[in-house]
Structure 1
Amino acid sequence: MSEPAPRTPKAEQTRATIVAAAMDLFRTRGFEGATMRGIADAAGVSLGSAYYYFSGKEHLIQAFYGQMQDDHLSAAREVLETETDFAARLRGVLTVWVEVAAPYHEFAGTFFKNAADPTSPLSPFSPESADARAASTAIFRDVVEGSDLKVASSLRPRLPELLWLLHMGMVLFWVHDRSPGQERTLALVSGAVPLVDKLGRLSRLPVVRGVVNDVVALLDYLDD
């Protein structure tokens, strides 16, 4: 992968223009149908310039992932700064993601067909997606740390990761959701959040704590 171009205001604007052009072409032609030359032409830059900023289409998608995390955090900031109730924080963060992602829903099926390949660098679980994955998990860490939620001590450090996995499941549901305004996804969020809240609070009970410790031990094992 090429070295990142200097982050001057002009460079940032050029990068943003190329990413926007790429998203438009991915939407109309699909990921496979779009070419770097076509993206460069749509952005009004030379092919060399496009490659200067991005080593290929996969690198562009990683930039898009990063942009989505920035947009998601900006949209979630109000609820994170004003709410302390865990359920309200989690519901707000998941709901605003649906709003931020709405412009990309029409081509999400084509896009996520590539991202679903476990060997693809576009997968949210790939090494190439590590930065975007960490940024998204950090949002859910903020959800937990700024809330009133008290959970088993063994679970707390792993909870942001589990919430991110919940979010990934919601994203998959959203991709297939053809209801107006993705109402079914929003209904899923409304129904799932109280369950997550209750399960988290129950984790401190002695009768449940052993199961929670087993789950955490399994996660630790999978990390090794």
Structure 2
Amino acid sequence: MTETPATEKARQTRAAILDAALDLFRSHGYDGTTMRAVAQQAGVSAGNAYYYFSSKEHLVQAFYDQLQEAHAAAAAEALQGLEGRTAYSDRLRAVLSAWVDIASEYHEFAGTFFKNAAEPTSPLSPFSEASTPAREAAVQIHRATIDGSDLKVSKALREELPELMWLLQMGVVLFWVHDRSPDQRRTRELVERAVPLIDRLLRLTRVPVVRGVVDDVVGLVRSVKGP
């Protein structure tokens, strides 16, 4: 990751380069955008652009980080707006809906990233080492969503649940990328209808006949994740 610029002028230059890149991604797509074009659009030299972002991949990582910061702020505001309601379904719905809201302005060119992000070896993959900060920040949002809720599950499941909910969010993101309905209405409907079902399934994990299966699932998740 590129270090955060130390001065206000540096922060403004970095932001201008990122804004220029996003404009070009919209109009020319990811593959059709060059670092030289980004520099020209931002009104800086190519060397200056490379000083802040060593590649197009780093520009996209900066976009991921920016989007994640915006989601964290929107999610915190949405949870605060629940006025003390602790129902997990309300909190999860608020967090997922907040993501759809803040990401909506980028929907038109999100697909240009997806074909690159879907490649397992790509640094743009949400599972890559380069994406670790954004991924961990997203998991933390789900941890806070769970911790402030009335949800009661086993200790083992609770430890893994924030990351499992992030994986659920990735599924929503994939659906959203392909959603061509106005204002991504179908994605919003997916969130609205899926959240109560997820809430009910999680609460069922405390039923004795289900608990053993849950323990097996948690064990499988941990073995797949590795040390």
TM bucket (normalised to shorter chain) is over 0.9
Residue 200 of structure 1 deviates from its aligned partner by 1.2
Give the direction of change, closer, same or farther, for the CA distance of 1:45–1:8 in structure 2 (3 Å limit): same
Displacement of 1:5: 5.5
User: TM-score, length-normalised on structure 2?
Assistant: 0.95
Contact 1:109–1:176 (Cα < 8 Å) also in 2: yes
The amino acid of 1:120's aligned partner reads S
Displacement, 1:99?
0.9
1:194 equivalent in structure 2? 196
User: How many angstroms apart in 1 are the aligned matches of 2:149 and 2:103?
Assistant: 25
CA contact (8 A) 1:36 1:50 kept: yes
* Residues 1:45 and 2:44 are matched in the alignment: yes
Structure 2 residue 127 is matched with structure 1 residue 125: yes
Question: Partner of 2:178 in structure 1?
Answer: 176
Distance 2:211 2:9 in 1: 54
| Rounded Cα–Cα distance in structure 1 between residues aligned with 2:31 and 2:129 | 21
- 1:143-184 Cα distance to aligned partner (Å, 9 max, x none): 101111111221001100010000000000001111111100
Aligned to 1:160: 162
What does residue 57 of structure 2 align with?
Answer: 58
- For 1:78, the aligned partner's letter is E
Letter in 2 for 1:106: E
CA distance in 1, matches of 2:36, 2:86: 48
Alignment correspondent of 1:215: 217
Contact in 2 for aligned 1:121/1:128 (Cα 8 Å): yes
CA distance in 2, matches of 1:194, 1:210: 23
Deviation digits for residues 10-67 of structure 1, max 9, x if unmatched?
2222211111111111111111110001001111111111111111100111110000
Structure-2 change in CA distance of 1:80 and 1:220 (3 Å)? same
DSSP-derived class of the 2:108 partner: coil
**Which whole-Å CA distance do the structure 1 matches of 2:183 and 2:163 have between them?**
27
1:9-88 matches, within 5 Å, as 9-81=8-80, 82=83, 83-88=85-90
Contact 1:203 1:212 survives alignment (8 Å) = yes
Cα distance in 2 for partners of 1:16, 1:84 equals: 37
- Measure, in 2, the Cα distance between the counterparts of 1:211 and 1:43: 55
Between the aligned partners of 1:112 and 1:5, the Cα distance in structure 2 is 26
- Partners of 2:221 and 2:13 in 1: how far apart? 41
Alpha-carbon distance in 2 for matches of 1:172, 1:117? 14
Give distance in 2, aligned partners of 1:67 and 1:140.
Answer: 18
Supply the AA of the counterpart residue of 1:133: R
How far apart in 1 are the matches of 2:209 and 2:221? 20
